[in-house]
Copies of this chain bind each other. A is one copy, B any other.
Amino acid sequence: MKEIKGGVTAAKGFQAASTAAGIKYKDKKDMALIFCEVPCRVAGTFTQNVVKAAPVLWDMHVVNDSRQAQAVVINAGIANACTGEEGMGICHATARKIKDILEVPMDEVLVASTGVIGKQIPLDRIVAGIEAMAPALSDTLESGLGAARAIMTTDTKEKEAAVTVELCGKTVTIGGMCKGSGMIHPNMCTMLSFVTTDAAISQELLAKALRCDVEDTYNMISVDGDTSTNDTCLLLASGMAGNVEITEENEDYQLFCEALHFVNEALAKKMAGDGEGATALFEVKVVGAQNKEQAKILSRSVVSSNLTKAAIYGHDANWGRILCAMGYAGAPFDPDKVDLFFESAAGSIKIVENGVALDFSEEQATQILAQEAVTAIVDLKMGDASATAWGCDLTYDYVKINADYRS
């Protein structure tokens, strides 16, 4: 497996375009289009929020019923959630426009939206945006990067990742892009993530690979504990790499899963690190757990704790908040056995042994916590299982961004 540059256009067959459609922002690209030369197999995971945005409902139908797709239309600025029948009408009209211009069947057009809830999307701008993007479609890395930028809302950086992997002598590529950066506490999937691959793989295994991997990647990040109405993760496979089609869980499937995991984890970490207002990526590894579920529950609880997040912002080794957040997580453990370490580019320090503080150097701890990526390692000493969760610190800017996001 080799990491390469690129995003959604890295894999064979995929093109992208983007434009400033003026849906909400001025002077900022806010629409993206992904198109594949051939119909793709498609897998998707979606928010478990009871309140599902119109494009989520639309895409669930495409993924579950059509089971193939050839185009994805994305807009930033308005989420098309809580928009009733008019909102579903927007999805319908978007698909119709793609059909008219790109000759893709309507039920093979995916739609995704992100932004403020409850406002209607102006359809004329979507239509004009599609008309502008269709002739500009291109398979260059630049067009993929443009799309990754166009789907940003409060994100500060575009988020892309791509790898190649050799399957019996054939090079298969997987590339993706995603956006955060608030209302991020995915439950089933993250805000918006689009991954493309040229692998030839059966629809069943494509869906299984995505479903399993989402549990260890997007579902392990939290920015603010709010599970969005729009969380969507789509995986399109063009089959153009020329590999022998993966139809069983053989070695090729394992290699494909590893490569997919690399891309998903990279994207998930980028989302966590670019959480609204964040100054640091906060990683929590729970090791020595009895089982993976326990490790996941505990690590997620810590990255989701406001008090812990505020302490990370303050570079304060306030380990009591970490034990506290583990304590209310809902998974039993023995507090009197816990060891706790902080780790970053500035070094590693042991803070707690058997549930009680060591006489550690506060100065060294602060130095370690002042880095851009900080890891807390919790050893439960109960078994061999482990899990990692990702989040970010809680800052003034998080409050600022969200106190006046809508207006």
- What is the interface of chain A, defined by CB distance below 8 A to chain B? 48-52, 79, 81-84, 116-119, 182-183, 185, 187, 224-229, 304-307, 310-311, 313-314, 316, 318-321, 323-329, 332-333, 335-336, 352, 354-357, 362, 394-396, 398-407
Top 5 A-B pairs, shortest CB-CB distance: A117-B320, A314-B403, A51-B327, A310-B402, A227-B328
CB-nearest residue of chain B to A318: B406
Cβ-defined contact, A49 with B306, below 8 A = no
Report chain B residues within 8 Å CB of A394.
399, 402
Which of B324, B355, B357 lies in contact with A49, CB distance below 8 A?
A: B324
Give the one of A226, A313, A319, A399 with max B CB within 10 A.
A399
10 A-B pairs (CB sep. < 8 Å): A48-B328, A49-B327, A82-B320, A82-B357, A225-B304, A306-B402, A310-B398, A318-B406, A396-B396, A396-B399
Cβ-defined contact, A403 with B225, below 8 A = no
The docked-state distance in angstroms from the alpha carbon of A118 to that of B355 is: 9
- With A314-B404, A402-B310, A402-B314 known as contacts, the answer to whether A325 contacts B226 (CB < 8 A) is yes
The docked-state distance in angstroms from the alpha carbon of A101 to that of B352 is: 37
Cβ-defined contact, B324 with A226, below 8 A = yes
Cβ-defined contact, B403 with A313, below 8 A = yes
The main secondary structure of chain A at its interface with chain B is loop
Cβ-defined contact, B403 with A316, below 8 A = yes
The docked-state distance in angstroms from the alpha carbon of A311 to that of B117 is: 13
Report chain B residues within 8 Å CB of A316.
403-407
Report chain B residues within 8 Å CB of A185.
328
CB distance from A9 to the nearest CB of B (A): 32
CB-nearest residue of chain B to A401: B310
The docked-state distance in angstroms from the alpha carbon of A83 to that of B335 is: 11
Cβ-defined contact, B356 with A83, below 8 A = yes
CB-nearest residue of chain B to A182: B307
Cβ-defined contact, A228 with B324, below 8 A = yes
Report chain B residues within 8 Å CB of A320.
79, 81-82, 116-118, 229
Cβ-defined contact, B399 with A399, below 8 A = yes
CB-nearest residue of chain B to A298: B50
Report chain B residues within 8 Å CB of A403.
310-311, 313-314, 316
Report chain B residues within 8 Å CB of A401.
310
The docked-state distance in angstroms from the alpha carbon of A305 to that of B227 is: 10
Cβ-defined contact, B50 with A326, below 8 A = yes
The docked-state distance in angstroms from the alpha carbon of A399 to that of B310 is: 6
- With A84-B336, A325-B226 known as contacts, the answer to whether A311 contacts B406 (CB < 8 A) is yes
Cβ-defined contact, A306 with B226, below 8 A = yes
Report chain B residues within 8 Å CB of A304.
225
The docked-state distance in angstroms from the alpha carbon of A374 to that of B334 is: 41
Report chain B residues within 8 Å CB of A310.
398-399, 401-403, 405
Cβ-defined contact, A327 with B229, below 8 A = yes
